[in-house]
Amino acid sequence: MAARPLATRCSPLRRLALVAGCALLLLAAAGRDDAVTAIKTLVEQRRFLEAAQAGEKLVKERAEDAEAWLLLAQVHLSPDWAFRRDARAASAATRAMKLAGRRPDIVAALAFARARLTEYDDALKLIGELCDATPPKASGELLSELLVLRAELRLKREGAAGHAAALADLERAIVAAPRASQPRILRAEAWMNVDRYADALEDLKVAIDRAPGSKAAHALLRTACSQLGQREEARRHYEIWKRLNRLTDSVAPTSAPDLLERRDVLRELATLNPRDLDRRLELAQTELQLADYDGALATCEALLGVAPTFAAARWIREQALLAKAGQRPPPPVPAPASDGDGDGAGDGASESASDHGGGAR
């Protein structure tokens, strides 16, 4: 299900913030802007539960601030959060709308939340309000994401009957955000539904060019290549997918990879999928955390060879050099991919990992 989340993709600047550690940011966050930044950083670090708790605190303090409510909604729309609360996303977006009116970004957040709650007809009305106006009330990436969501709902609910309309929405989505990968991925799925694997492959090639670390794109490429008899290529995408999945496939630390395994997986990914610079940066960061300074330096050098202006890589390289010279300890180990409290704290209780009731596995 597409969503309008806060981004968790590893852009260089975001990685900088991640490496610096959010504790420092939280301490520094005094005003509203700082609190907002801190919440966004928590989301980037995949510390969703803390982000949601900080969001609740923020809306309590600033109950008449639409931005605060919208931010809370967006936290709960995070696609990678297994235990998000869709209903809270909807209620927060509704509150934001009461305060700020039918602003496109707020209407969009509510649309995504309604879709998550399987209130599809409501979601479609909201999407229509933004996308079908002349001119559309949304544009660019937001318009694209809304159209992708509508296309997805059509494909899921109407099957073959919704195929043509979904394709039309996806065409618009691609025009609205030519660099976006999601419309291409969904269009590839639509082609695959009608056995047009060659067409799907074309879209997936473009998508993977835009998002080399997309798990979904690699998985679909595996299937499309398999059906087209391209065994080696299918296998290659499967091997990449398998490693990407291992990094994120567990919601509990008991079965999530530890730092050493993460490093090994990321090293394999760097070889298998060298165009995925985000994962290579993550490898450098992981090596740094493991005090493998030579490894981190080599990874950063390789990255900078490909992308000489990669600021985050430069920063990690500096940290590795300093740490190697004994001038600075390695950065703290970040929270695991889940909320970090999934294995229970103190009383042996687990919050996040127990949340079957959230139904969001």
Q: Interface with other proteins by CB under 8 A: which residues?
A: 83, 86-87, 117-118, 155-157, 159-160, 189, 192-193, 195, 215-216, 218-220, 222-223, 226-229, 234-235, 238, 241-242, 245-246, 249-252, 254-255, 257, 342-344, 348-351, 353-361
Closer to other proteins at the Cβ: 158 or 294? 158
Measured between alpha carbons, how far is 312 from 153 in angstroms, rounded to an integer? 38
Closest CB to other proteins among residues 241, 293: 241
For residue 322, give Cα distances in angstroms to 85, 191, 259, 271, 310. Answer: 42, 52, 21, 27, 19
C-beta closer to other proteins: residue 90 or 296: 90
5 and 79 Cβ atoms separated by less than 8 Å: yes
The residue written with tokens 């939280």 in the block is 26
- Give the residue with the Cβ less far from other proteins, 205 or 215: 215
344, 350 in Cβ contact below 8 A? yes
Contact 77, 91 (CB under 8 A): no
CB of 309 to other proteins, least distance (A): 31
Judged by beta carbon, residue 118 or residue 139, the one nearer other proteins is 118
- Distance in Å, CB of 178 to other proteins, minimum: 22
Give whichever of 30 and 160 is closer to other proteins, judged by the CB atom: 160
Query: Contact 150/124 with Cβ under 8 angstroms?
Result: yes
Distance CA(105)–CA(140), nearest Å, equals 12
Q: Which C-beta is closer to other proteins: that of 33 or that of 195?
A: 195
Cβ 108 to other proteins, closest distance in Å?
21
101: tokens are 């009116």
CB atoms within 10 A of CB 218: 26
> How near is the Cβ of 85 to other proteins at its closest, in Å?
8
**To the nearest whole angstrom, how small is the minimum distance from the Cβ of residue 53 to other proteins?**
12
> To the nearest whole angstrom, how small is the minimum distance from the Cβ of residue 130 to other proteins?
24
How many CB atoms are located within 10 Å of the residue 9 CB? 11
Nearest distance in Å: CB 52, other proteins: 12
| Closest separation in Å from C-beta 308 to other proteins | 32
* Closer Cβ to other proteins, 14 or 237, answer by number: 237
Least distance CB 151 / other proteins (angstroms): 12
The runs of H, that is alpha helices, within 181-276 are: 182-193, 197-210, 215-227, 231-248, 259-272
Q: Tell me phi and psi for residue 182, to 5 degrees.
A: -60, -45
Looking at beta carbons only, is 247 or 288 nearer to other proteins?
247
Distances in whole angstroms, Cα of residue 307 to Cα of each of 9, 212, 280, 282, 314: 18, 15, 12, 15, 10
For residue 332, CA distances in Å to 194, 278, 290 come to 49, 20, 10
